[in-house]
Structure 1
Amino acid sequence: MKSKRAWHYATTTALAVSFVFWAENLAHAQSKADAEHSPAAVRNTVTSQQKRKTITAVDAHSVEHVNIQGQRQANWVVTPVSASTIANYAPGTNALKALTTLPGVMYNSADPQGLNLWGQSFLMHGFDQSQIGMTLDGMPLGGQLWSNSNGLSPSAAISSENISRLDVSASAGSEGAASISNLGGTVQFVSRDSSHKAGGTVRQTFGSNSMFHTFVRADSGDLNKQGTRFYVSYMRNDTDKWRGGQNQFMQQVNAKLLHPIGEQSKLTAFFNYADEEMQNYQDYSMNMFRHGGYHIDNLAGTPNGYETAYRLALASNGMPGGSVPAAYQNLSSPYTASFYDGAGNQRQYFGGVNADLALTDRLRWNSTFYGHRSWEVGTVTSPLISSPNGAPFVEQATMPSTNRFGLLSSLTYTIAKNEINGGVWYENTKFVADKRAYEEPLLEDVLSGNARPVDGMHLTSPYQREYEQVFNTNTFVAYLQDTYHPLSNLAFHFGFRSVLNTTRVGQLANWPTYTRTDAIAGGDGITTSKPFLPHISGQWSFLPGHQFYFDIANNVKVLPVAGYNSGASPFATTQAAFDASKAGLTSETDWNYAVGYRYTSHLITGNVYAYHTDFSNRLQQISTGNPNNPYTVIKNVGGVSMNGVDAGFVLRPLEGLQLASSISYNHATYSDNVTETTSSGNVTYGLKGKQVVAYPRLMYKGQISYKWRDAEIHADTQYIGTRNLSYTGDEKVPAYWLTNVGARYDLTPLFNQGKVGNIIKHASLSFNVYNITNEHYISTMGQNGFPMSGDYQSVVLGAPRQYFGTVQIDF
């Protein structure tokens, strides 16, 4: 890793750049170009006059607050979030974090950039990331679990600097979105096109904890009269952890080719390669949060880390030579507070080819073929099993891999006052869940220099395969929709989708010492079939600046796929539990109802959005025991009834000054109690009427920005209310405020004064402070599951105050 960092410093020094940046001018221009060339299905859902008002409102302000601002598409609620919003965060930050400006949206992460996939989560209107559909240029990104069986994280799919916009659809979602998990809406990422002019971009960021982020992009410009063009980019991010030892590294390559065909058609191809090697942050319990301080972490990379972990493992097993660190003495479970190692490593290859063809003036055909190959490794040093040589722990490695390909194809036909659109999506996925054990060396051999601890980033030969399952999934989705405009200010949408999904699982290996069972899930598969999922919506612009809209939809999430003990999946259990539950398993479904009102003027934009959801058959991962190898049960916790409202405004009282504020209330409660059978009899847990886990009832968001000449300052704050860690609500995570500030200065006028202005087209300097008040708070929850009651080691700490500085130069 150190050699990688040395190479990184050398290459970036050769590029002669330093500090933080924002590509606002280019981002705005590109975002607008992308909006103008979007498919007809998007273009025609609002009138031309409405589109002009929306684009003007967005482009008129250098800092775009998207919590209110947005384009209303007649067939679903869509809020576009542009590149300028993403640019308000430190370069390289997960683009999902930009959505925290939206009411009802919550993004959590263990690191300030949100790149550590184990420690991040995304929630929207009471739904978590596994229940929200995500796509990139229409290509599905899958279910968003850490071990994503049918996709990859958005940050691993595309560099945030290459994103043109995000189209966010809360509640109802979209019939045409390539997702089988969009119960609570969709987030559709749209990549930037290459510039018509040849050029390049260099962005360099320095930050706290030796953070070093480089982004370099080269645009070919138009290669011929048709406008064929491409870009290639490289991103590298390297930073030490803010607590514990070792560092987090990521590099990524993106490439996109665009070939216009006439005036209205085009062919595009996109490719992504991502390589991540990250040491994870240790999971906390609330007991650790209250009594263990803010800096407990895994021990790899710390002074005497292996010896400390070794002796802690001896103590946990009651063996001679064991000891517990002084800082852990007051913890209720000191033996699981730290492990020696906990790492995540992945390589992703993802891309596709799209044809967007205008067959006639009225008929348009859009088709995409895509493929994806993924390797992942997640390691942890477990004290639950001793190594064959007598060392009191082993290195366990979860090694999922994915191979998938798919095809999307749709036709759009415009006739009279109707826009009719229909399409199909097929995907085949092979997912292998594999877990292995590696022998750790004896302490005396490490202290004498005769052996080294297992390196979770570079594993060699395991001594035991703990389990292996192989899954094959076929997904077929068809949809049909019509948007009808009886009047220029009135639109109605009618549509439905059909879903057919089948997964077969095979058990290839099982080690009862680890799994505690003679057989894990395998054998026949499970099919989810929903032939008719309707969607109805409408929009009425009844006065200048006034809009009313509604949305009603029925959605399904197919039964998810996960390896043994690694997710809320019916396949993540024993063979006996799988056989007993298979016949009665029912996919999660919901009905979403939403109404909204929006007012837009030059001075103020306001919005009220109310929603109701009836959620059936909610599947949850319920965990007890050691988080390293918990006893996990996949439980149907029954129905959830949810009522919520978002309200907010954007005020523009002076030129260059913008104020935004929003508040969200969500009352999402379980409709049923849950009864479990234990060795001592049946136990009933009082879930009925309790707020759902991990999602607060109250959130507040506020932003302010002021631009004067070439300088700009901005700040955002959010309040996250208390959240339930346990299903019964007897253990809660406290509320917190999180505030970020930033400043940007445009250096372009300085360069334009000399000859260098012919080379440098744009330059800017930026500075960001994350968590300026240094709040100590709980961020992500439930990565190891949730307990029925009481505490559990399944929360992640949020990062303390962090500083970032960037310079950007465009050629």
Structure 2
Amino acid sequence: MKNRRIFSTFLGITLLASASSEAYAATLRKLAASTPDDHAGSRVPTSGSKVAAGHSSAKSARARNAIAKGSESVGVVGARRTHGTSVTLGQAMIAKAIPGTNPLKVLAQLPGVMFQSDDPQGMDTWSNQFYMHGFYQNQIGMTLDGIPLGDQEFHSANGLNSVAAISSENIGHMDATMSAGAEDTASTSNLGGAVAFHSSDPSHQAGGKIVQTFGSNSSFHTYFRGDSGDLNSQGSRFYASYMRNDMDKWKGGGNQFSQQVNAKFVQPIGKKSSISTYFDWTDMDLYNYQDMSFDMLHNGGYRIDNFIGTPNAYAKAYRSALSLNGLPGGSLPAGYSKMSDPWDASYYDGATVERDYLGGMNLHFVLTDRLSWDSVIYGHGQYGRGSWASPYMSSPSGAPLIEQITVPHTQRGGFTSALHYNIANNHISTGVWYENFHTDIGRYAYNEPVLGEGSPINVLGSLPAPFATLWRQQMNSNSFTGFAEDTYNPLPNLTLHFGFRSLLQTARSGDTENLASYTGVGAVASGSITTAKAFLPHISADWHFLKHHELFFDVSENVKSIPVTAFKLGASPFSLSQSAFDLLKSQGGLKAETDWNYAVGYRFTDSWANFSLYGYHTDFRNRLQQITSGTIVNPVSTVANVGSVTMSGVDAGLTLTPVKGLSIYNSISYNHAVYDQNVTESGTVYHTKGEQVVNYPRLMYKNSLSYTWRNFDVHFDTTFIGTRNFSYTGDMKVPHYWLETLGARYRFGDLSHSTYGVVKDMTFDFNVYNLTNVKYISTMGENGNPMSGDYQSFLVGAPRQYFGTIRAGF
């Protein structure tokens, strides 16, 4: 451990001179032109100014085309656009990661961005946690081809996790807009930024791709894609793909399985207009890792987990439940008595099931030389399950435990539409977005058998009828946003931008069923809430002076609509009891979170070096937080308005390419985000004033070395995540950690003229995750955070993992 820290520190010090910025870091224009292959080891960014929503300069178009073709292969690809500091990462960067990796994890290579998960690919949606400059994933607007993906929460009623929306191999590029955000993003949650995923277009030439990965813990990832090529002289074309990902859990038992079908059709109309359709079907069946507390970690060990998939699993869970209730025959597994709460350390099982259907149509019409129209029509249906075997309730069979399963059925649909007009160096856009979603969600109790008298429920298979409804809610929401913006170029090297957006959301919840003996409340929340902001301004400027220098600033006001989440499942007023909901509403607690964002930066860009310095400041108001205690199967959960938060931060960086093929990248990020007031909860004053916000570190450091020689490239990456507050008062903290990864690739190139016939672009990859096998805490607060002290609400990261991949094109 000591040697590993010395090695990481030494590497960080020797490379710190090469930090690459906020990831707006610069664009290696000359290098981009000289590095045409996606296996190149140098950092190749793109650049350009987005002049208006749906419009971009010729330089930006060339840059995006280069990314789509895979010419870039860096951790940071910078592109500055006038309505927010934007970074673009292409498929080449995604391809460097382990196949099937969550695209948000790829974005975490950028300064100020953090992604946490308990598995090396980031496929476990329960454990996904994404931050960008102090903003959590439910405060960031996310879209796929203009289709809103909602707030990215596990129990989200208005969205879809990125891994369930598209296979990572089908992403053409990603745009991350930092800090001030973008007013044209279809979102009710973008307080401080936006992430736009863009699916790749079908190829003009018929062909196919195969990706096959093998790895640790019986990992097996398969991806097939077939492209039709142009079907006619107009260029009509489509692709269809299938992805399958299966991996045994690295601790405990059970596996994590998902499969996905994507399809896209593009129909050009004339020379400049087009219609495209996108379809996604996803099936996820995941046994989850057990949530941990510090008591469990210290007294139960790093590898403690649920019983499913281990010898005598049901018998151990059964006898543990008997011991909880003081019944004859009860006993705890060896070593469990050391923990203060051994009965919640391991349940029989915990799992996630999800089925998603997503479809969208993009319409792009160039009406005149100056006027164009873009619209998106979409629909999404989701069925899910979140299950835990609870020892706190007995089954009708007489078994001392039940299977409790939360089942949501969600349907949502909507459209966006925007007009873009160019006149006299002004690029004007205006548009609207409307969405309706409906969710029917309930928690149900299922009978488990007496030990030795039958098999326990398979939560991933067909379910019997439940014997009780523990609680059930129905929620409906209508969201509307409108925006207008003007980007003005008084000089070729100066861009001025002004815009604003308006937001209106109404949401209603109905309490349909409630078992008071289980929930502990007379009724779960029902009622309506409205979020309305008529004028949310945004101004920015971007000045390219001299040959390699750039200055920019952004200022904006944003709002996040009041969250819509079911009973005890998040920081939402609908997560409360009826009495708590009414009290919060009467005391004026149902206020939407707002903020003012300020950002300023400098960038130097050349072929051999890119330097960037980026600073930001945010003033938050009315932050809602989930505060929990008790057991995680039925927690004591409240939602508190913790008042205002003040955040300031800075990123600095430099990317160096001293010799051909060698790239050295480093970044360092500092974030000071503190609560401005103490919090009074249930009559107790908690001293949160001046404490760093929970779950996000003050300091992060990242470096990467990559080298390319002919058809071979290798990269080594290091990430430092500083200390994080686990409790709101800061009396419980998660220690810092270093994490290293290593990757190598050899590309055979085009083999179509060899004995392999039609095979081309064959590539062998090898990746090692967590190279030094460090033990660390990854996801935090997935069950909410405590005001002070310990709570069962974090997950630990995976140990060292190995992956080998074969890729081939046809």
Q: Give the TM-score range, shorter chain.
A: over 0.9
- Pairs within 5 Å for 1:649-668: 649-668=654-673
- Pairs within 5 Å for 1:413-432: 413-432=421-440
Report deviation, 1:53. Answer: 8.2
Match of 2:756, SS state, is helix
Question: Structure 1 pair 388/231, CA: closer, same or farther in 2 (3 Å)?
Answer: same
1:513 to 512, 517, 526: 517
- Pairs within 5 Å for 1:319-338: 319-338=327-346
Report deviation, 1:63. Answer: 2.5
Question: Structure 1 pair 442/37, CA: closer, same or farther in 2 (3 Å)?
Answer: farther
Asked whether the 8 Å contact 2:780–2:793 carries over to 1, the reply is: yes
Aligned to 2:550: 547
Asked whether the 8 Å contact 1:733–1:778 carries over to 2, the reply is: yes
Is 1:771 aligned to 2:770, yes or no? yes
Question: Residue deviations 1:562-620, cap 9 Å, x none?
Answer: 11111110001111111121241101111100001111001101111100000111100
Question: Structure 1 pair 601/36, CA: closer, same or farther in 2 (3 Å)?
Answer: closer
Question: Structure 1 pair 43/456, CA: closer, same or farther in 2 (3 Å)?
Answer: closer
- For 1:90 and 1:495, how far apart are their aligned partners in 2? 40
Question: Residue deviations 1:361-411, cap 9 Å, x none?
Answer: 000100110000000001000111111222111100000121011010000
1:528 to 516, 528, 531: 531
Question: Residue deviations 1:490-534, cap 9 Å, x none?
Answer: 001100000000001111111112111111111x31111100000
Q: Which amino acid aligns with 2:75?
A: H
Q: 5+ unaligned residues in a row in structure 1: which ranges?
A: 1-23, 446-450
Is 1:481 aligned to 2:485, yes or no? yes
Aligned to 2:791: 792
Q: Which amino acid aligns with 1:360?
A: T
Is 1:179 aligned to 2:187, yes or no? yes
Match of 2:680, SS state, is strand
Asked whether the 8 Å contact 1:133–1:179 carries over to 2, the reply is: yes
Q: TM-score, normalised by structure 2?
A: 0.92
Percentage of identical aligned residues: 53
- For 1:611 and 1:651, how far apart are their aligned partners in 2? 25
Question: Structure 1 pair 441/57, CA: closer, same or farther in 2 (3 Å)?
Answer: closer
Aligned to 2:28: none
Asked whether the 8 Å contact 1:72–1:79 carries over to 2, the reply is: yes
- For 2:551 and 2:233, how far apart are their aligned partners in 1? 45
Question: Residue deviations 1:595-650, cap 9 Å, x none?
Answer: 01111001101111100000111100000111111100000011000000011111
- For 2:457 and 2:107, how far apart are their aligned partners in 1? 39
Q: Report the aligned-residue RMSD.
A: 2.1
Aligned to 1:712: 713
Aligned to 2:24: none
Asked whether the 8 Å contact 2:205–2:227 carries over to 1, the reply is: yes
Is 1:303 aligned to 2:286, yes or no? no
- For 1:605 and 1:336, how far apart are their aligned partners in 2? 51
Is 1:596 aligned to 2:601, yes or no? yes
Aligned to 1:726: 727
- For 2:729 and 2:570, how far apart are their aligned partners in 1? 20
- Pairs within 5 Å for 1:751-766: 751=751, 754-757=754-757, 759-766=758-765
Q: Which amino acid aligns with 1:684?
A: V
Asked whether the 8 Å contact 1:62–1:707 carries over to 2, the reply is: no
Q: Which amino acid aligns with 1:496?
A: F
Question: Structure 1 pair 25/485, CA: closer, same or farther in 2 (3 Å)?
Answer: closer
Report deviation, 1:443. Answer: 1.2
Aligned to 1:126: 134
Report deviation, 1:320. Answer: 2.0
- For 1:129 and 1:228, how far apart are their aligned partners in 2? 37
Report deviation, 1:65. Answer: 2.5
Aligned to 1:587: 592
Match of 1:579, SS state, is helix
Q: 5+ unaligned residues in a row in structure 2: which ranges?
A: 1-34
Match of 1:756, SS state, is coil
Q: Which amino acid aligns with 1:719?
A: F
Is 1:566 aligned to 2:569, yes or no? yes
Report deviation, 1:327. Answer: 2.7
Question: Structure 1 pair 26/462, CA: closer, same or farther in 2 (3 Å)?
Answer: farther
Aligned to 2:302: 294
Aligned to 1:638: 643
Q: Which amino acid aligns with 1:401?
A: H
Is 1:94 aligned to 2:98, yes or no? no
Q: Which amino acid aligns with 2:301?
A: G
Aligned to 2:505: 501
Asked whether the 8 Å contact 1:526–1:582 carries over to 2, the reply is: no
Q: Which amino acid aligns with 1:788?
A: M
Aligned to 2:739: 738
- For 1:213 and 1:258, how far apart are their aligned partners in 2? 28
Report deviation, 1:748. Answer: 2.1
- Pairs within 5 Å for 1:678-693: 682-693=683-694
Report deviation, 1:761. Answer: 2.3
Report deviation, 1:444. Answer: 3.3
Match of 2:202, SS state, is coil
- For 2:792 and 2:36, how far apart are their aligned partners in 1? 45
1:624 to 618, 623, 629: 629
- Pairs within 5 Å for 1:365-404: 365-404=373-412
Match of 1:326, SS state, is coil
Asked whether the 8 Å contact 2:213–2:220 carries over to 1, the reply is: yes
- For 1:538 and 1:373, how far apart are their aligned partners in 2? 40
- For 2:648 and 2:472, how far apart are their aligned partners in 1? 42
Q: TM-score, normalised by structure 1?
A: 0.92
Point out the more displaced range, 55-64 or 559-568.
55-64
Report deviation, 1:287. Answer: 1.7
Point out the more displaced range, 34-43 or 73-82.
34-43
Asked whether the 8 Å contact 1:42–1:73 carries over to 2, the reply is: no
Aligned to 2:244: 236
- For 1:37 and 1:138, how far apart are their aligned partners in 2? 20
Q: Which amino acid aligns with 2:284?
A: E
Question: Structure 1 pair 38/401, CA: closer, same or farther in 2 (3 Å)?
Answer: farther
Asked whether the 8 Å contact 2:48–2:59 carries over to 1, the reply is: no
Asked whether the 8 Å contact 1:54–1:71 carries over to 2, the reply is: no
Question: Structure 1 pair 40/599, CA: closer, same or farther in 2 (3 Å)?
Answer: closer
Aligned to 2:149: 141
Match of 1:538, SS state, is strand
1:63 to 68, 73, 88: 73
- For 1:369 and 1:122, how far apart are their aligned partners in 2? 27
Point out the more displaced range, 290-299 or 763-772.
290-299
- For 1:327 and 1:412, how far apart are their aligned partners in 2? 66
- For 1:546 and 1:56, how far apart are their aligned partners in 2? 23
Asked whether the 8 Å contact 1:27–1:164 carries over to 2, the reply is: no
Point out the more displaced range, 52-61 or 141-150.
52-61
- For 1:330 and 1:643, how far apart are their aligned partners in 2? 42
Question: Residue deviations 1:712-766, cap 9 Å, x none?
Answer: 10111100001011000000011001111110001225x3552535x12211000
- For 1:603 and 1:42, how far apart are their aligned partners in 2? 32
Point out the more displaced range, 306-315 or 268-277.
306-315
Match of 2:338, SS state, is coil
Report deviation, 1:440. Answer: 0.9
- For 1:441 and 1:250, how far apart are their aligned partners in 2? 29
Aligned to 1:538: 541
Question: Residue deviations 1:91-125, cap 9 Å, x none?
Answer: 01111110111001000011111111111111111
2:367 to 359, 365, 387: 359
